[in-house]
Structure 1
Amino acid sequence: MAASTELGEFLRTRRASVTPEDVGLDAARPGRRVRGLRREEVAQLAGVSVDYYTRLEQGRHSSPSEAVVEALARALGLDAAAAAHLSDLARPVRRSPARPQAQRVRPAVHQLLASLVDHPAFVVGRRTDILASNALARALMTDWERLPVRQRNYTRWVLLDPDARAAYLDWRSVAADVVGTLRLYAGRHPDDPQLNELVGELTLQSPEFRRWWDDHRVHERTHGTKRMHHPQIGDITISYEALALPGDPDQTLFVYTTDPGSASQDNLRLLASWAAQQRKGSVRGLPASPAAPSATWPGPTG
């Protein structure tokens, strides 16, 4: 989609989500029919003309200055992630290579993952691809290594795999957030053909994805809490930290932890023991109950 159209749709959806009360305006003004802001109100708050702002929303102007972008972000009350996304959408279009270079996780990072035996950990790359994971992460979520490389994508798993819906007790919140994270990437890399393939598949197969994608909400995962359920172990509440890997663009290390002395910590230790037994059984030729690959999207390799 053209950058100007993306910019316009983002501004329009954000304007509709802001109430007059949010920005100190009178909600009882005569003639108000919608809950969100009017174009003229956003223009006034941002200090630009109504005609100029209208052209931005309609895709007739796609390169506002940095000062205008900052003013619009303030007027719409955008958080840091949404403001950065607006800035990405307002940049002059820079064509990226048709097929980006494949991402590789450094050997030292693989060693770090393997050393975190008590904590699920994994590396997420472009388009929320899973680039590497440790044994406990695979036991908690799905065995990424048994999936074809082009199907190892976190957003795809959350939206399309029934096991993911069962794994997250707050699935709708988790799924909506990951769609918002994918939106952030789309703003930074608008010409990624493999992202377009992923969005196309998710649009066809997931009505929830279609609704959240059209909402244009963005979300940056930095830290937080998730409530999970494992069929063999039970419920586990985890805290996560997202750590950008220096020197590796578009690679983020996620580490899951549990509260010391909690039932979740006990369950996670039990899961680690269960996973170890599964691996031993697999080595001996016994079934190891891996998560089966699902769907058929060709997926990303770069």
Structure 2
Amino acid sequence: MSKTNFTRRTAIGLGLAVALLPASVQADTLDTIKQRGKILIAIDVSHPPYGMLDDKAKETGSDVETANLLAKDLGVPLEIVQVSGANRVPFLLSGKADIVIASFSITEERKKVIDYSRPYGVIPVVIAGPTNEKIKQANDLDGKTIAVARGTTADIELTKVLKPVSGARIVRYEDEATTNTAVATGQQNIFAAALSTANEVRDANPAKNLEVKMTMAAYPMAIGLRKKDDALRDWVDNWVTANLKNGKLNEIYKKYFKSDLPAEMME
């Protein structure tokens, strides 16, 4: 399926989801959370270091710590709703989650159907491959096959980068775990992913001698909310601003990504 058709079908499907959303879900979510006595936050626990399970099957990661901090400041317990990259938006729109904190980068396509908070992080998107592959620009991928998880920001950027490179072939897998397995098992040795995922695959497969070849883009990362959820969006925006200024969100980011957030983001 072409990216154009995929994007069109995704937008139509998400549009229908909004139209069919129950009236109760479209109500003031902030009041609903307080009345319910807990907040439902969608997190992808299969995407380290954003979300993962520890040796006791307990959720951990930067997104989990961010969600716990938000729930604590809101004064309600957190209930994690486990999602994948592909179903984050449908779970939000159907009311299965109140908000999404799942390495959720801001894209123009997603903004057509959901709202975002003020950004609280960044996600570099890269192409990685073996050290002996000479890849510094798009044309160096001519004649090569590149793996990527379907519908991710890496997929979006890879499609843009390779548009003028007719000899390159993209192999799209349904999720990041499957993509990573394809690289680990040698089905493809070049792949596109978020920087954190590329580093994870590299560390898990030292014999592959993988390294980051080029950075395609750096996406701002934000909390996903339903459209017209004005009271909750305002609260979340104020929460992000406060926790950027007090350094707590930077502490979480630095713990997992070994670097500080961009200085301009914390102003």
Question: What range is the shorter-chain TM-score in?
Answer: under 0.3
Q: Which structure has greater helix proportion? A: 1
Higher relative contact order (CA 8 A, sep 6+): 2
With the length of structure 1 as denominator, give the TM-score of the two structures: 0.25
Q: Which structure has greater strand proportion? A: 2
With the length of structure 2 as denominator, give the TM-score of the two structures: 0.27
